[in-house]
Structure 1
Amino acid sequence: MPPRRRDRRSRRDPSPSPSHPSRPRAPSSTPRPRVRLAFVALPLLLLILAALHFTGRLSRPQAPRTTPISVYERGLVKRQVSADEILAEHDRVSEKRSLRHFPNPVLAYVTPWNSKGYDMAKLFSAKLTHVSPVWYDLKSDGNKLVLEGQHNYDAGWVSELQSNASLVVPRVVLEAFPGVVLLKKKPRDKAIDLIVSECRDKGYDGIVLESWSRWAAYGVLDDPKLRKLALQFVKQLGEALHSISSQLSTRNHLELIYVIPAPRMEGLNNQDFGPEDLLQLADSVDGFSLMTYDFSGPQNPGPSAPLKWIQYSLTTLLPEKGSASRGYSHMIFLGINFYGNNFLLSKGGDGSSITGRDFIHLIEKYKPSLQWDDKSSEHFFIYSDEGVRHAVFYPTLMSLSVRLDEAQDWGIGLSIWEIGQVKSLSDSGSHPSWKLCDIPGFP
């Protein structure tokens, strides 16, 4: 895809852009309690730390303002939410951040360019089963393969997370030429050895591998032979990681989580990851990070992750009837975005992703009226600046609560992109997503 995914490396990252769009199932008008509390805490938590401007990931995390009363008890998880309520409540989080309510795995991405995520991961490590720092790229350098990113390694940070029982599984983006790693045995074995050796040397608990979008860009997925070799590469890497024991992982081996795009609504094509691909990899992979975000873009402004698209994606990958893939629902990490979008509603369109800091700034400046879209189960607001109308979509407590509820209904985990994009502790406030920790049901 040209990646629209919000990696934000230099405001953008070449990560696979999700193939887009869901089983229509209207959300209940009032979120169930288990979902409500869990969703509020996490996004709010992330908004606070991401906005912090700091220059060292080993800084001592500042404690946010806490409250013993949940966001549900305070009546904040609802469709009719006001800008004043968000401004008054966005900088408080549940004091029970060490309790875990969500029974399934939760993977949180951390990026160097939104570095407050390092502190967020430490503060909320009790709620995160997996933390994936976005550190590595496996590239071609002439006839050689090079694993870039070792300089990002932070031994103290990794050790602290692992001491709290969070698995550290750094992301590795496979950018090497497919003709090198797929067609030739020696380079393929070398690529796998570079990854496995880095895990062993640094004491990681496995990795998150991202390669599907690169293979799509090179046309690998359109060629049956190359597609088969691509899946075999993932399987071989998984088997190599599984051959190494791990003290933290419940599976007792190093883990491989594979990043996959969300299926498009119009049906699967060669570049989509489908149920047959899942079945082929299920024995060699420990989980799939499903990118259910970035549904809309500047040329088609709208919600980031419509609920029906999420439902469609899950139904496509995990059919309820007549398919063995349904039994692998526990391996899915449903993608949850902790960023939003600010679209220009003018001819030609334009727009950019926004973080928690941006969201709060817009709320403070324009005091907009937030609207709830029943079709997507997301909040948005419209404002005008110098005669130009903007539409802003950002995850609120209600939208997050609905998606958490969906994840629990399916028995799947969560993958959060990414926890450094929340509002910072040192700023005047934080974002509503911080309050996910207040929701009974969130980790």
Structure 2
Amino acid sequence: MKYITTVIHILFLFDACFSTLSPPTDKKGQKGVKTQEGPRKNNVLDRKLVLETPLVKDIIKYHATYHQDLSTSHFNNPVLGYVTPWNNKGYDVAKTWAPKFNYISPVWLQIKRQAPNIYIISGLQDVDHAWMKAIKQKGSASNLKVLPRIIFENWQVSDLKAFFLEPSLHSEQKALIEEIKKSCKQWKFDGVVLEMLSQIGKFADKSVKFIQQFGSEMSDDNLKLILVYPPFRGYPNDEFFIQAFNDIYPYVEAVSVMTYDFSNPQKPGPNAPLYWMRLCVEKLIDNDENSVKRLKILLGLNFYGNSYTANGGGPIVGTEYIELLKNAKNNQALSYNNNTAENYVEIRTSQGTKKIFYPTLYSIQKRLDLAREYGTGVAIWELGQGLDYFYDLF
């Protein structure tokens, strides 16, 4: 998943490990703004914080507060949350708001082809059984499932040819499926989130039958398979993925569509324009009223942002965003673009002027409304990057 991988390599530096269950406190911020923390009697909707152009000082003040009722859901379709080992706050978020999620996907696993018909899963040293048990207990009402993400790692062209093209492909694919199922049973996973389509290049058109077989065999063993899926970008192979979805969705629990990373330092701009996300959904559903098909689409929501300068810039997480906002002018409000349905703000810092795109309560609500309109679920990349009060909306 090259778009997410770029973010991953940068974000591991910004580990923010702190609890979300601390009692209400006040911390002195820059320019006299106090940051409030902890549970509150009312949610962000009741507190009138979901505004099109919020004030910077209000974001700084309230971002670490959240509704004391952690179990009531405001979004009734499936929700997947990714958690990464390099951003430990995500583990706390998953535990705190477990009832809001249907699936939690810790980014732990890699699978390699070691030799003909021999596959090795690495990353199992990151598995935290106590954490898995805790989130499942707290998420019992939503019947929460833990599905680690597993990614094809260091596959050579010879490996892909053996897997997708050679006469032995049936035994190769069978061996991989059996190794993953064995690990799920041994480590008490409910299944996996499989990321492979963005890594296999020209072999993607050979993947459909494998995914169908994989999904069927996982289902036979009462295990779930979610497939990471590319968004529509106007690339030559986009039409293949659109058509392949019709052949794939009956065999998988869901597809997690990567509707983020629309812009980058070479092309600065919004993280995931709403019109583009709408297009991605419409391409997959193709006017089909099948509600089962729609529910199997998990629309990607980025909980990270980007800070751009004249010399480039790059991704930021919530803790960095708040620190940047402390450089804003008094009573400065965020700007809002009706076309993209994203907020942004320009701030002068010691490193120069920065234009910052980062999710707000309002932009997230607009995307949840889009998911409700089309009957899809959502997938959050990733839980440790967001602000605490975001979860009031789910």
Which residue of structure 2 lines up, in the alignment, with residue 316 of structure 1?
283
Give yes or no for contact 2:20–2:93 (8 Å, CA) kept in 1.
no
Alignment partner of 1:204 is 2:196: no
Residue-by-residue CA offset, 1:24-79 (whole Å, 9 max, x unaligned) = xxxxxxxxxxxxxxxxxxxxxxxxxx96436xxxx895455111122222221112
Which residue of structure 1 lines up, in the alignment, with residue 294 of structure 2?
329
Aligned partner (choices 220, 223, 229) of residue 203 of structure 2: 220
Amino acid at match of 1:260: Y
Deviation at 1:383, TM superposition (A): 2.2
Alignment partner of 1:134 is 2:107: yes
Aligned partner (choices 152, 177, 180) of residue 195 of structure 1: 180
Which residue of structure 2 lines up, in the alignment, with residue 36 of structure 1?
none
Alignment partner of 1:262 is 2:261: no
Alignment partner of 1:151 is 2:125: yes
Structure 2: distance between partners of 1:178 and 1:308? 36
Which residue of structure 1 lines up, in the alignment, with residue 26 of structure 2?
none
Amino acid at match of 1:269: P
Give yes or no for contact 1:107–1:130 (8 Å, CA) kept in 2.
yes
Paired residue secondary structure (1:214)? coil
Q: Which moved more, 1:376-385 or 1:175-184?
A: 175-184
Q: Which has the higher contact order (CA 8 A, sep 6+)?
A: 1
Which residue of structure 1 lines up, in the alignment, with residue 261 of structure 2?
294
Amino acid at match of 1:334: L
Q: Higher helix share goes to which structure?
A: 2
Give yes or no for contact 2:15–2:86 (8 Å, CA) kept in 1.
no
Deviation at 1:103, TM superposition (A): 1.3
CA gap of 1:324–1:276, structure 2 versus 1, over 3 A, is farther
Paired residue secondary structure (2:17)? coil
Residue-by-residue CA offset, 1:160-212 (whole Å, 9 max, x unaligned) = 22223310011011233322322333222111111111111111111100011
Paired residue secondary structure (2:207)? helix
Which residue of structure 2 lines up, in the alignment, with residue 172 of structure 1?
150
Amino acid at match of 2:102: T
Amino acid at match of 2:134: E
Amino acid at match of 2:163: V
Residue-by-residue CA offset, 1:218-253 (whole Å, 9 max, x unaligned) = x223xxxxx1x3111111111111111xxxxxxxx2
Amino acid at match of 2:4: R
Structure 1: distance between partners of 2:280 and 2:136? 32
RMSD, aligned CA: 2.3
Alignment partner of 1:234 is 2:199: no
Deviation at 1:374, TM superposition (A): 1.1
Which residue of structure 2 lines up, in the alignment, with residue 278 of structure 1?
245
Give the TM-score normalised by structure 2.
Answer: 0.87
Structure 2: distance between partners of 1:364 and 1:102? 32
Deviation at 1:437, TM superposition (A): 3.4
Amino acid at match of 1:112: P
Residue segments in structure 1 that go unaligned for 5+ positions in a row: 14-49, 222-226, 245-252, 423-430
Q: Percent identity?
A: 31
Alignment partner of 1:416 is 2:380: yes
Which residue of structure 2 lines up, in the alignment, with residue 28 of structure 1?
none
Paired residue secondary structure (2:280)? helix
Amino acid at match of 2:260: Y
Which residue of structure 2 lines up, in the alignment, with residue 10 of structure 1?
9
CA gap of 1:102–1:108, structure 2 versus 1, over 3 A, is same
